[in-house]
Structure formats: structure tokens, C-alpha cells
Structure 1
Amino acid sequence: MTTPPFMSLTWTDHVTGRRGFLVVDRLVRGVSSGGLRMRPGCTLDEVAGLARGMTMKEALHYDPEGRYVPLGGAKGGIDCDPRDPEAYDVLVRYLRATRPYIENFWTTGEDLGLSQDLIDRAAAEAGLVSTIQAVYPLLDDEETARRRLTDAFAVRVDGIGLDELVGGCGVAESVLTALDRVGAPYAGTRVAVQGLGTMGGATARFLARAGLTIVAVADIKGTIANPAGLDVESLLAARDAHGTIDRSALGPDDREGPADAWLAGEADVLVPAAVSYAIDTTNHHRVTARLIVEAANMPVLPAAEELLTARGVTVLPDVVVNSGTNAWWWWTLFGDIGPTSDEAFAHTRRSMRALVDLMLTRAETDGTTPRAAAHAIAADRLPTIADRFGLHR
């Protein structure tokens, strides 16, 4: 997994001077998969790490009996605040510049700072047919497959798009699987979530509906906490497009605190679902939870994870935990599931539970961390995928 990527490039916007990045870690059957993020401070190294993670996510969801064809891993990133008035035009110019790659071997979609609707609108303006058109030649029936995915994206559940829910469903199932393995009851288990955007919001909803207590959520304005439990549905309804909560929706017993207060509150489970590098060597000691579930990409720095592991904190890695959204796209497009919420949630729960259980069993057997176990499983599967489908590097 340490071999150089297939391709790495840096783009500079000729209008604003802002930079964007694209890293294709690996191609399988000539195609790669990985989202496009936009955040201030985004770097090439960050995007390269995420691209490597996507290679593993694809491998971890490989099912030799499934229709879903594993792809290689890739990632795009733009160093820009998505709230900046110029952000949309920067996005359009980035997509226009990377159009040849998207048309031929990079399939992409929403990630941190960018919604799928926004990417689709910008992609059309940039002259793209679709941000996943590179995979179309691999489909048995392109027209049917594209209609199935379009139908799936049109599904809404309690006012929220299915595409915004499946990832959080996978994160929640990761939490529940870990609790089940140690016999911990859902009732009374306290959860703090950093970020109430697409991934964090859906995770909070699924965990609350499973009977867990969401005691804290954090957004860009700060942390909202209530030891007795927050009204998750009210907070979700009060979000703006960037996941920021309107404080007028807070309950009478809800309390506001600093943005980093979610980290050190009295919670059993932490779900960092917002930004990378949220837990590092300067703040890991504040964590009192025994389980950290990485809904965001790379939220726990390696050195911090070592220190957390040494004192008995389990970290479920992003490469497994937040892989549900990517897998759902391909399960739907290739026809492993139909375009309904029932099929999407059932398949996501079944697949994520099996994968998390396999990872934790491997970690126990090998005497390693869940992350090391996930990497080992991916490393075992990559040669099989390459032998079956061919590999372009």
C-alpha cells in the first residue's frame, strides 16, 4: 500500500490562485473511485492519503459473488472555503480542468464541503455528462443502470435524500456492531458527534433511533450538549446547507460550549464526522470515551491513535466505518440492490456489520488494532482483485 500513486497532479486556478489536487492511487479495469472535497488548507498529501484509503475501501467491499466491480482508489481536493462567494466558480473551473480524467478514469462525488447536488450542477456547467461516466463502459446495461441510480437519488426518507443517509447508516451500524461484541446495551450508551452535516447528521439519527443517547453535537459555532439527550430530529431540521445549527432550535436544557467541548464530555462513544486531524497529540488526553468511530476521513492522527490504544481506547478506522456511501453508489449502479431505501439500508447494515465483525475478529486474532486489521484484509484482497479484473498502474 506504500507504492507510489498511479497519478498525482496539482492545479492552480488562473483567476484566484487557489489550488486543487487530484491523486489516482490505483486503477482497476482502468477506473478509479473517490470523492471531491473542498476545504481551506486542503493539501496534496491529504488527498494522496485519502486516495490510498479509497483503494482499501474498494477492496474491503469486494464480494466475488456480487455484481459490483471493485474500482481503484482516487481523491480530489480544492484548497478553498466552500462558504467563500468565489467557491462555486472555482469548483467549475477545477472540474473543467480535470474533465479529461473524469471522462476517462476518475469517478467522483460529494465529500467534505461539497454536496452531490452542487457537484452535479458544476459538472454540467463544466461540460461533463456525469461525474461517474468513466464507469459506464463496465456496465452490462448502461441505460438501466443509470436510471436505477437516478431513481435512488430521488428517494427521500423523512425529508432527507437517501444518498445523504446511507453513509450514516453504515457508521451507526459500525457503532452497534462494536457494542454488540462486548455486550454493551444501546440504552444508556452516550454518544458525542463532531459535525452534523451529511455523515454526522445521519449517524446521529440512526443511533438515536436505535436507542442510544446523543449527548453532544458540534458544528462550526460550537458544541451543543445535554446529558439527558438532545432532540436529534429538531437539530437536524434546523441545519443549514453546511450543517450549521440554528440556535433558536435548542431545547430549554441544551447548553452551548466551545467547538472542541464534544471531545472531552462524558460520552461512551465519540464520532468525529467533520474534519480530518481532529484528534492529535495535543488533545487526545481529553478523551474519556472508550470507543472512537471515524465517520470523517483521517480524524485521528496516527501518533494520537497509538496513545489512545495504549490506554484502552478502541478506534474504528475510517477506511471501514465511512465506506458505506461509496459502496451504495456501486451496489445500486451495478444492480446488487434496487433503488429503494429498504434495500439500501438492509444491504448497508448487513455488509457493514459483516465487515466490522471481520475486522474486529482479525484484530483480536492478530493482536493488532482494528486499523491494522482492516489494512491486512485489504492487502489480502487486492491481489485477488488484480488477478480477476486486471490492474493498471
Structure 2
Amino acid sequence: MTAPLLSLTWTDDITGRQGFVVIDRLVRGVCSGGLRMRPGCTLEEVTGLARGMSMKEALHYDPDGRYVPLGGAKGGIDCDPRDPAAYGLLVRYLKAARPYVEGFWTTGEDLGLSQDLVDRAAAEAGLVSSIQAVYPLLDDEAAARRRLADAFAVEVDGIGLDELVGGCGVAESALTALDRAGVPYADTRVAVQGFGTMGGATARFLARAGLTVVAVADLKGTVVNPAGLDVEALLAARDAHGTVDRGALRPGDRELPGDAWLSTEAEVLVPAAVSYAIDTTNQRRVTARWIVEAANMPVLPEAEALLAARGVTVLPDVVVNSGTNAWWWWTLFGDIGPEADGAFAHTRRSMRALTELMLTRAEADGTTPRAAAHAIAADRHPVIAARFGQYR
């Protein structure tokens, strides 16, 4: 693998905690990738995520679209987001990273951080916006910013559109795999690890498609019901960190340990929380036919090889959870408007086409879906570089 274009480690002078910025590549002088905060975050982790962002951007390249793919990047802070000192740390990190955000790194919410929190901290750090580096690439900056702001103001059944589009994309990837295998939705059970932005939205869309969500795991443990959980009731009972109030559980719902989602009797597993959730040891507990990576890097490579040998298909994060990032740029560049119906329709159409392309390539090459996705991205990177260049 090639080294990233830029790799930085920052040490906070007050707490001694570290933060990281990794720029994998630039397109027209700009790159894209969220900022996460979690205890134990490492430079190696952020480097892998930045490389993944380069692939996600390339995978959504449409020569006829207004959205021009950017380069890939990522930020990370080693801190528990629930720590009382976390917000001050976030502001100081953004002050230190301000030249990069102003010049070429567009960022936003990721694991442990909400977009509202990132926006508030960015303003306190003296930034115009966490995505201001992309503004010079827009045809009409004022109209584009207004369009994105309008989209962020949209709510659908009590949940913001910005929280839902990613889960819509994850769900569409899963449904595409089921359709190719001829598996009826009504006969398909789902277990979800993580019930925050991505996990909660994915559960909603899969349940509404007719699948049965039988397990949901959060910080308190795993809630299971073989007959199906009431997803909407659980969504309404979440706190800001995706933890479900157990007072909302129905008589048939049971509480099990936090890792019980892994071995739940389900056809589809959706890891939607932390990286490295499935390793070479616990992969033996998986009985599902598909693992749909809503989180970034939840399945270790060695575990994925063992799962593939057992006939378990992993739908990779670089495709599955790429809808959120793409939605930002589809909206900002003007491929879609701020309305929910248009956003969902475009997301479904794009994610289904991309998942189909990946699975068809995997079948033709005799490889895994991840290897196929990486091959497609590798084919597109030189095309994008030749058309747009690395620097402005």
C-alpha cells in the first residue's frame, strides 16, 4: 500500500491526549472524511479509514454528475466522547487543525460525534464551516450552502434526514444482496450492533422493507426478540448516544449480554458501531449468511477470510456505508435537492447500482465483494486523477 499524502499526530497540551489527521489523497486540492472520537483511537486506525474514504469517493464517481469526487481523509481523537473534557478537547483539536480544514480537508460527524457538536466546536475554533475547503469548487456557493442547510433541517418521522440517508444506503445494499440470492424479505432476520445514527436508521429501513429485526445491541447489552422487535419504539426511546431506555421494552423482549448479537439466529448481521468488532476468535459464533458493514472496518481481514471459507459474505464498508458522504456532496453540488423523497430515491438508486456492480465483479473475478470494490476503485482513481488533477 502507498503511504498517505499527509499524516499528523497532535498532542493536547492540557490533557496529553492525542488526535490525528490523515490525508490519503487530494482531488482538485480537496479531500473528504469525517472526524471520530473514541477511546483508544490510533493513527493506524485513522490511516485505514482515510484510505477507505479515497475508495468511497472513487466508487461514487459519475462522469455525468455534478458531484466531483474528492480525495480521502480522516480525523480521530483518542477520548471517550462522554468524558466531561471531551468538548474542550474537540475545540482545541479543531483549532490546531484549522489550517487544514480551511485549506483542503472537509470533515463532519463520525463515530462518537454528532454534526451539531462538530459544527458548534468548529465555530468556536474560528472556522466558517467544517466543509469550507470545498466551497471554491462550487458553481454557486450561496445556493449550495442554502440547499445543504435546508436538507439538514428536514425530519422524517422524528429523525433528521442527515441521520437517515446513511442507513437507507446500508439497507439498500443488504436488500440488493438478498434480491440477487432470491431470498424473500419476510423470511429474513436481522441483528444490529449499535443503535446510533447508522444502526438505528438501518434498522428502520430494513424493518419497513419487511425484514424482521430480532436483535439490537447498545452500550447496555443486547435486546432480543425472535418474533421481532418494535424498531420504532426503540428508536423513540434512544438517548443521544444510541442507548435504549429499557423501560420501552415489551414483555417478549429479553436482555442479553452485549456480544450476544454476534450469535443471534439471523440471516443478516449489521455491525454499526465500532471498528474491529469481529475478530478471528468471535467470528466462529457468527451463523448469519451476510455481514453488512455499516460501521467502518468492523471485520478484521483475517476474520473475513475465515468467514468467507465458511460461506459468510461480507458486504464491505467502502460500499455499504458510503451513502452518507455521497449525500452531502450530491446535495451540495446540486445533483439532488434538499427534499427527503429525492434524497432517498437517489440514494437507493445509486447504492443498488454500486452494490450490483461490486457483486457482479466479485462473481466474475472469483473474489470477495471487498476485493471487487477495491478493484473498481483502483480502476477509477487514475481516471479521476487524469481528469481533475491532484491540486487546484
TM alignment of 1:236-247, pairs within 5 A: 236-247=235-246
If the length of structure 2 is used for normalisation, what is the TM-score? 0.99
Q: CA deviation at 1:391?
A: 1.7
Give the aligned residue type for 1:94: Y
In 2, the alpha carbon distance for the partners of 1:97 and 1:245 equals 35
If the length of structure 1 is used for normalisation, what is the TM-score? 0.99
Q: Which runs of 5+ in 1 are unaligned?
A: none
In 2, the alpha carbon distance for the partners of 1:137 and 1:4 equals 27
In 1, the alpha carbon distance for the partners of 2:219 and 2:180 equals 34
In 2, the alpha carbon distance for the partners of 1:392 and 1:283 equals 44
Paired position in structure 1 for 2:29: 30
**What are the Cα deviations for residues 274-305 of structure 1, in whole angstroms up to 9, with x where unaligned?**
00000001100000001000000000000000
In 2, the alpha carbon distance for the partners of 1:241 and 1:11 equals 28
Paired position in structure 2 for 1:185: 184
Q: The residue matched to 1:27 in structure 2 has which SS?
A: coil
Paired position in structure 2 for 1:385: 384
Q: CA deviation at 1:131?
A: 0.3
Paired position in structure 2 for 1:339: 338
**What are the Cα deviations for residues 203-243 of structure 1, in whole angstroms up to 9, with x where unaligned?**
00000000000000000110000000000000000100000
**What are the Cα deviations for residues 69-126 of structure 1, in whole angstroms up to 9, with x where unaligned?**
1100000000000000000000000001100000000000000000000000010111
1:4 to 2:38 alignment: no
Q: The residue matched to 1:41 in structure 2 has which SS?
A: coil
Q: The residue matched to 1:8 in structure 2 has which SS?
A: strand
Q: Which runs of 5+ in 2 are unaligned?
A: none
TM alignment of 1:163-312, pairs within 5 A: 163-312=162-311
In 1, the alpha carbon distance for the partners of 2:237 and 2:389 equals 48
Paired position in structure 1 for 2:138: 139
1:368 to 2:356 alignment: no
Paired position in structure 1 for 2:44: 45
In 1, the alpha carbon distance for the partners of 2:178 and 2:323 equals 19
Decide whether the 8 Å contact of 1:26 with 1:392 is kept in 2: no
Give the aligned residue type for 2:163: E
TM alignment of 1:319-330, pairs within 5 A: 319-330=318-329
Decide whether the 8 Å contact of 1:274 with 1:296 is kept in 2: yes
- Give runs of ≥4 in structure 1 deviating > 2 Å: none
In 1, the alpha carbon distance for the partners of 2:245 and 2:121 equals 28
In the comparison of the two structures, how many residue pairs are matched?
Answer: 392
Paired position in structure 2 for 1:61: 60
Q: CA deviation at 1:392?
A: 4.2
**What are the Cα deviations for residues 176-217 of structure 1, in whole angstroms up to 9, with x where unaligned?**
000000110000200000000000000000000000000000
Decide whether the 8 Å contact of 1:32 with 1:72 is kept in 2: yes
In 2, the alpha carbon distance for the partners of 1:390 and 1:65 equals 17
